[in-house]
């Protein structure tokens, strides 16, 4: 392990599919490779093949990322997801007194910055500056136009701290450029062992379906950012490519300042892919506890520690990475808020290692539940129970429930035992998928 604490950059894409990137089997677009920078980071680092998000929808995963705990412990995370309708709520958000990944790293001496999407409640009750970040630039809500930076209700939603920051430009590029700016400003201190932590939370490739060249669309989608009558695979892939370009700008900045070697870069998505995503060979997508909704890319690059060209089949989920970053940053968890995440630091040093890691999920939407033990997964959707051997059947098509009743019963009991340790889903929790079978056929 590096003797000097690493700079940490935690990059989160929004609604990216498991196979959208070339390094996860994604096909080239008509313009060429979709993700050359991320593919390069994976080739010179470590790629996880069995990594998951804490939820198949946005804000619940972000609660887990921020707290390194199961999101179900907090009321705001019961919203699937938090809606802009809750803007005045003093309960639907990340409580400022709860320890977080950035607050604990800040207390350990890191400069902390959130560049990009927050989606964990609104000021004056909640906000990134109240939960451990020294600086924030980005939207507060779950989805904004890439050019007007307006949220789904039409209100302007691009902030510097807690002050509106009217800015001209394509949002993906604005976020990438701001991340570069943080690196430039913090480079000298980082070389003197005063490291930085950057949360780079893109809104790409989330709707509306706008590339850098589509500013004319902004007026058309103004009344419905879900953009249900627009988009296509080509536009979607270009949005990923332009995010990937921005990550390249950041990598170049690290190299210019001789910081790349001891900077831990972790890339993932907040949940599985949406309507134009490629999740092959998985089934389902955003809002689903089938594999396509929760299995996501996890790419790690840290030349000082992580060997080049490795892959790992270690089971992990979002909160494990937050726990890992706390350990590597020398931060101490608050004993009143014990972490549910498990550190993966040993895997970063030796990708051949592995350990048992049971994983649990639940969703109000369609009464879903799931748990994974090793290669086996128990799943409930619409009150139907399934059992899958994912080592042989990643598409979850060959239900083993009838032929392995004892294994199913054991996994059901394990899920019930775990669930009893979590608060129940509140009766007033809302589910807001944004569209239905009236808009497009169900997956």
Active site residues: 58, 119
Strand partners, 159: 138, 164
Q: Which of 144, 153, 215, 196 minimizes the C-alpha distance to 175?
A: 144
Contact (Cβ atoms closer than 8 angstroms) between residue 419 and residue 362: yes
In sign, the C-alpha dihedral spanning 59, 64, 70, 73 is negative
Q: Which of 53, 54, 65 minimizes the C-alpha distance to 16?
A: 53
Burial call 97-127: b when 16+ CB within 10 Å, e when fewer: ebbbbbbbbbeeebbbbbbbbbbbbbbebbb
**Separation between Cα atoms, residue 175 and residue 243, nearest integer Å:** 9
| End-to-end Cα spacing for the chain | 44
**Separation between Cα atoms, residue 123 and residue 126, nearest integer Å:** 5
Place of tokens 């979607």: 236
Q: β-pairing, 196-201 with 263-269?
A: unpaired
Strand partners, 379: 370, 386
Strand partners, 86: none
């Amino acid at each position: 392990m590096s003797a000097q604490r690493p700079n940490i950059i935690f990059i989160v894409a929004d609604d990216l599919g498991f196979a959208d990137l070339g390094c996860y089997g994604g096909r080239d677009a008509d313009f060429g490779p979709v993700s050359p920078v991320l593919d390069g980071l994976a080739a010179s680092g470590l790629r996880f093949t069995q990594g998951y998000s804490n939820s198949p929808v946005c804000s619940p995963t972000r609660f887990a990322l921020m707290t390194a705990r199961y999101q179900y412990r907090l009321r705001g995370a019961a919203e699937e997801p938090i809606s802009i309708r809750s803007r005045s709520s003093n309960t639907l958000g990340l409580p400022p007194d709860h320890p977080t990944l950035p607050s604990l790293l800040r207390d350990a001496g890191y400069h902390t910055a959130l560049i990009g999407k927050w989606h964990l409640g609104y000021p004056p009750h909640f906000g990134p500056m109240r939960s451990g970040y020294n600086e924030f630039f980005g939207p507060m809500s779950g989805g904004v136009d890439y050019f007007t930076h307006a949220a789904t209700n039409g209100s302007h939603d691009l902030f510097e701290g807690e002050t509106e920051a009217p800015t001209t430009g394509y949002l993906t590029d604005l976020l990438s450029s701001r991340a570069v700016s943080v690196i430039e400003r913090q480079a000298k201190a980082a070389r003197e062992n005063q490291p930085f932590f950057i949360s780079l939370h893109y809104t790409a490739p989330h709707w509306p379906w706008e590339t850098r060249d589509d500013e004319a669309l902004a007026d058309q989608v103004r009344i419905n950012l879900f953009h249900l009558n627009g988009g296509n695979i080509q536009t979607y892939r270009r949005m990923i490519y332009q995010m990937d370009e921005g990550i390249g700008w950041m990598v170049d900045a690290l190299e210019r300042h001789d910081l790349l070697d001891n900077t831990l870069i972790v890339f993932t998505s907040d949940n599985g892919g949406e309507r134009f995503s490629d999740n092959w060979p998985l089934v389902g997508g955003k809002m689903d506890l089938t594999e396509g909704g929760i299995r996501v890319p996890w790419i790690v690059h840290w030349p000082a520690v992580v060997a080049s060209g490795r892959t790992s089949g270690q089971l992990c989920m979002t909160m494990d990475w937050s726990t890992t970053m706390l350990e590597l940053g020398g931060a101490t968890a608050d004993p009143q808020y014990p972490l549910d995440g498990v550190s993966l630091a040993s895997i970063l040093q030796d990708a051949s290692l592995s350990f048992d890691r049971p994983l649990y999920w639940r969703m109000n939407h369609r009464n879903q539940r799931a748990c994974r033990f090793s290669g086996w997964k128990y799943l409930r959707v619409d009150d139907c129970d399934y059992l899958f051997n994912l080592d042989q059947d990643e598409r979850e098509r060959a239900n083993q429930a009838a032929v392995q009743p004892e294994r199913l019963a054991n996994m059901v009991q394990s899920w019930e035992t775990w669930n009893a340790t979590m608060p129940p889903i509140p009766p007033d929790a809302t589910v807001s998928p944004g569209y239905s079978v009236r808009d497009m056929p169900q997956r």
